[in-house]
A and B are shown apart, each in its own frame.
Chain A
Amino acid sequence: EVQLVQSGAEVKKPGESLSISCQASGYTFTNYYISWVRQLPGKGLEWMGRIDPRDSYTHYSPSFRGHVTISIAKSISTAYLQWNFLRTSDTAMYYCVRHSVLEKLPADYWGQGAPVTVSS
């Protein structure tokens, strides 16, 4: 069974750093990109960026480039989304998703979401 299991809820202060994780199972990790999607409270979905597990190549949306870092640990089939300096505006739900590197297809599996609250 394909699963993307995300780390739990986080509460942080502005200026702090944070890394959230997404552990994949039930499929060949290197056959699927991992992307991250943000959903601000009560708002729509925003694609943040993706990583290719074969070579760790990343592509970021201009809206997020320079503020977040996407990485992977291939040996444990886990992807990460990291901030070095959180802002209150980073308060949101974050989803990891997978989509095929072999075919042009959309994300078919989503993690359960990780709520992040940034507040002083």
Chain B
Amino acid sequence: DIHMTQSPSSLSASVGDRVTITCRASQGISDSLAWYQQTPGKAPKLLLYAASSLESGVPSRFSGSGSGTDYTVTITSLQPEDFATYYCQQYYSLPYTFGQGTKLEIK
């Protein structure tokens, strides 16, 4: 199985800040990497796929980058609705695996 490691596990930031979350795969995943956002009590929502493609309807303040085993998601100018938990997931090979999550909290 491909192991996904996210960092940091938690992050405090203020509205308007720029934050970056990192995801590292235990082997190359050829950009088959998605980012999801989950708010309390809700199902996760797809933000980015193919490492850097923005899902329809997702604000452009979200961006993704990376290649090989190392990927990032960056949120510029944090908005109040962005405080949530973020997960990466590789869909390169079965079983698809998630990172452990990054909780983004208001400072």
Contacts and interface: CB of A to CB of B under 8 A. Distances in A.
Given A62-B1, A104-B32, A47 B87 contact: no
Chain B facing A: main interface SS: loop
Interface residues on B, range: 20 to 34
B104 interface: no
Contact of B43 (A104, A105, A112): A112
Contacts of A99: 91
Give the top 7 A-B pairs by smallest Cβ distance, nearest first. A106-B34, A61-B95, A110-B43, A47-B96, A45-B98, A44-B101, A106-B91
Interface of B: 1, 32, 34, 36, 38, 43-46, 49-50, 55, 87, 89, 91, 94-101
Interface of A: 35, 44-47, 49-50, 59-63, 95, 99, 104-108, 110-113
